[in-house]
């Protein structure tokens, strides 16, 4: 009975372990997405700053019309909006990574509980097996102890019967 229960628990533990592995892979993907979003944001910030510096440098080097200044401000404003979009992407990917980490922690906790349950049953199965072996050994020892007594009793009966025949 316990052996079947142990097999069921081992199967459940394997499923829980497979889930932990899948969640680890999902966390790696979420972390990679967050890292990519961070790199994209950083690269865009560096590019936008360089472009902005170049545009303002051009404006400062010559006489310009108000329309040109407005165009540069509009362009730079567009870059700021795009930067905010990249920052939001980074925030979402970080939130996804944190959520995935929580899911992984839950899967690990469930695996640990299932593993403990299986270990308890495995310990019970081992104890039952040891007890059965001990009982079998004791029974064999009793049988071995009874054999000389039977042989000794049989020999004295034979001697008594042999004595009667003479």
- For the domain that residue 103 is a member of, what is the CATH number? 1.10.287.1700
The number of helix segments (H) and strand segments (E) in the chain equals: 2, 0
Least confident of 96-100, 114-118, 144-148: 144-148
**CA 43 – CA 61 distance, rounded (Å):** 27
**What domain count does the chain have?**
1
Q: Is there a domain that residue 162 lies in?
A: no
Helix (H) or strand (E) holding 41: helix 2-60
Nearest 10 degrees: CA dihedral of 6, 8, 14, 19? Answer: -140
Q: What's the distance, Cα to Cα, between the start and end of the chain in Å? A: 62
Q: Is 101 within a domain?
A: yes
What confidence category does residue 166 fall into, taking pLDDT thresholds of 50, 70 and 90?
very low
The verdict on residue 152 lying in a domain is: no
Mean pLDDT for 80-101 is 97
Look up the domain containing 51 and give its range.
2-121
Q: Of 113, 116, 126, 111, whose CA–CA distance to 2 is shortest?
A: 126
In a domain, 132, yes or no: no
pTM over 0.75: no
Regarding predicted confidence, which is higher, 28 or 157? Answer: 28
What percentage of residues in the chain have a pLDDT greater than 70?
88
Burial of 90 (0-12, 13-18, 19+ CB in 10 A): buried
Give per-residue pLDDT as tens, 107-139: 999 999 999 998 998 898 889 889 989 989 888
Flag whether 140 is in a domain: no
10 occurs within a structural domain: yes
When pLDDT is averaged across residues 70-79 and rounded to a whole number, the result is 93
12-26, 38-52, 126-140: least confidently modelled range: 126-140
52 in a domain, yes or no? yes
Is residue 74 situated within a structural domain?
yes
Q: Which two tokens stand for residue 89?
A: 């992407």
């Amino acid at each position: 009975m316990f052996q079947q229960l142990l097999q069921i628990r081992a199967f459940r533990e394997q499923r829980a372990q497979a889930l932990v592995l899948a969640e680890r892979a999902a966390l790696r993907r979420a972390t990679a997405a967050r890292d990519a979003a961070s790199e994209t944001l950083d690269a865009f910030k560096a590019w936008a700053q360089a472009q902005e510096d170049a545009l303002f440098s051009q404006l400062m080097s010559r006489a310009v019309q108000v329309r040109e200044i407005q165009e540069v401000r509009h362009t730079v404003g567009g870059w700021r909006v795009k930067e905010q979009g990249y920052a939001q992407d980074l925030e979402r990917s970080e939130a996804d990574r944190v959520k995935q980490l929580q899911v992984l922690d839950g899967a690990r906790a469930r695996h640990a509980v299932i593993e403990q349950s299986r270990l308890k049953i495995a310990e019970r199965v081992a104890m039952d097996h040891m007890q059965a072996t001990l009982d079998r050994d004791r029974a064999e020892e009793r049988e071995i102890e009874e054999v000389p007594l039977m042989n000794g009793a049989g020999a004295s009966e034979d001697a008594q019967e042999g004595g009667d025949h003479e």
